[in-house]
């Protein structure tokens, strides 16, 4: 075992003044945390472009320096550290001051081996107990890493590459199921905004039987246990898939006896009425009862009149990019960081009301696709467990 600081050099990023941002071409990509996140979320590990570029002459004015290709980059400040995203630069580039890079000494360590080691770490535990989490070079340099001969490192990295490739294929299968579901919706109903199939249209409220908002209790920033109450976070909905683990534990004694809590029930649709512009108007479906969880005031529970609208159809309709854009445009707020959709504006939005028998046909297709997706998710979980187990055997010596 050796210290990380002995096999590579940690490089801090540089401030990126707003007046220099916005260039889509230039001598060097100027990578931010969001650029790294985008690469990892797309299923890749190599970063070679960014949302902003900078020229050599401006770089001199900023007294900034580039990092070489083969540098492992990651977030170094704020909650973004929790994501534990890592990427490897494949071109010379610049990183901003919220990013840190680890430049490997390739005489001692293989880049891919070091990448997988860094990815096996939960860097948030090294961020320190401060108001704003931050990673310090001095702390990271002292992390211990097993260092077999270079030939063995390359062999290990190749094995992990193969295991990671299997995992990515499983993730791709899940994405393909989502794509197929959207394609099936489009094939059956067409563009729901342009309405080329001339379905009947009406206000959303015509198909509603109830729309209820929750109560925002004060909770601790840890999820509840099965014998405790938890208030859902907005993040339980934002991905479009219900995540019950995204909740905050609430002390029973703090809940008034007269307070009627809205518990997520099987078949319920949960809608995010307040969030950032990118995340507001998210919707998901609940697939089982959760009697110990309840909704905050920023989430609605939507129940439909099943003679007019079926939940599976309505879910994919609201998730449609163009329909969601319609709803987002109606959101109001004095701050760009948090917008709100009023109940009245939501209910007054015009949508298509296809014949119920066509909706039923879609629901049948929905069930088959979701079943396939759930099988893919279980296989993916096994692939993740296998990869993580392999990483632990390699690095936790």
Q: What pLDDT was estimated at residue 336?
A: 52
CATH for the stretch 148-191+354-397: 1.10.287
Structure tokens at 325: 């854009």
Euclidean distance between CA atoms 45 and 43, whole angstroms: 7
Q: Give the model confidence (pLDDT) of 93-134 as tens digits.
A: 999 999 999 999 999 999 999 999 999 988 888 887 667 888
Say if strands 94-95 and 28-31 run parallel, antiparallel, or are unpaired: parallel
Low-confidence ranges of the chain (pLDDT < 70): 129-130, 334-337, 397
Reported as a single tens digit per residue, the pLDDT across 313-323 is 999 999 999 99
Q: Are 100 and 12 a contacting pair, CB within 8 Å?
A: yes
268/284 Cα distance (integer angstroms): 8
Comparing 2-145 with 200-353, is the CATH topology the same? yes
CATH topology (fold) of 2-145:
Adenine-n6-DNA-methyltransferase TaqI; Chain A, domain 2 (3.90.220)
Per-residue pLDDT at 311: 96
- Identify the residue whose tokens are 């936790």: 396
| Domain-wise residue ranges, the chain | 2-145, 148-191+354-397, 200-353
Copy the structure tokens of residue 301. Answer: 């529970």
The pLDDT value recorded for residue 393 is: 82
Taking only the tens place, the pLDDT of each residue in 149-186 is 999 999 999 999 998 888 888 888 888 999 999 999 99
Q: Span 200-353: which CATH code? A: 3.90.220.20
**What does the CA dihedral 387, 390, 394, 397 come to, rounded to 10 degrees?**
120
Q: Are 323 and 244 in contact (CB under 8 A)?
A: no
């Amino acid at each position: 075992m050796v210290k990380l600081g002995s096999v590579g050099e940690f490089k801090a990023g540089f401030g990126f003044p707003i007046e220099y941002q916005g260039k889509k071409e230039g001598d060097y990509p100027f990578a931010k945390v969001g650029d790294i996140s985008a690469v990892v979320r797309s299923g890749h590990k190599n970063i070679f472009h960014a949302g902003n570029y900078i020229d050599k002459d401006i770089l001199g004015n900023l007294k900034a320096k580039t990092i070489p290709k083969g540098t492992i980059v990651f977030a170094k400040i704020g909650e973004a550290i929790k994501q534990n995203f890592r990427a490897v630069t494949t071109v010379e580039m610049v990183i901003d001051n919220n990013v840190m890079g680890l430049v490997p000494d390739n005489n001692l360590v293989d880049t891919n081996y070091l990448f997988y080691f860094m990815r096996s770490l939960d860097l948030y535990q090294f961020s320190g107990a401060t108001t704003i989490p931050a990673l310090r070079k001095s702390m990271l340099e002292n992390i211990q890493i097993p260092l077999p001969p270079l030939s063995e490192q390359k062999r290990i990295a190749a094995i992990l590459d193969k295991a990671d490739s299997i995992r990515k294929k499983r993730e791709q299968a899940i994405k393909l199921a989502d794509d197929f579901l959207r394609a099936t919706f489009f094939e059956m109903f067409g563009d729901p905004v342009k309405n080329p199939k001339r379905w009947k249209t009406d206000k959303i409220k015509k198909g509603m039987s109830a729309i209820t908002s929750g109560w925002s209790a004060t909770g601790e920033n840890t999820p509840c246990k099965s014998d405790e109450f938890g208030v859902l976070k907005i993040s339980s909905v934002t991905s479009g898939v219900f995540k019950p683990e995204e909740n905050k534990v609430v002390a029973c004694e703090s809940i008034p006896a007269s307070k009627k809590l809205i518990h997520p029930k099987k078949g319920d649709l949960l809608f995010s009425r307040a969030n950032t512009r990118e995340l507001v108007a998210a919707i998901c479906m609940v697939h089982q009862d959760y009697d110990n969880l309840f909704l905050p005031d920023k989430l609605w529970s939507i129940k439909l009149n099943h003679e007019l609208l079926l939940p599976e159809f309505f879910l994919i309709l609201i998730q449609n990019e163009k329909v969601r854009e319609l709803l987002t445009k109606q959101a109001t707020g004095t701050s760009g960081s948090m917008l709100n959709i009023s109940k009245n504006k939501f209910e007054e939005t015009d949508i298509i009301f296809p014949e119920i028998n066509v909706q039923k046909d879609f629901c049948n297709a929905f069930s088959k696709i979701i079943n396939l997706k759930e099988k893919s998710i279980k296989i993916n979980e096994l692939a993740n467990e296998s990869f993580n187990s392999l990483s632990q055997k390699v690095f936790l010596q």
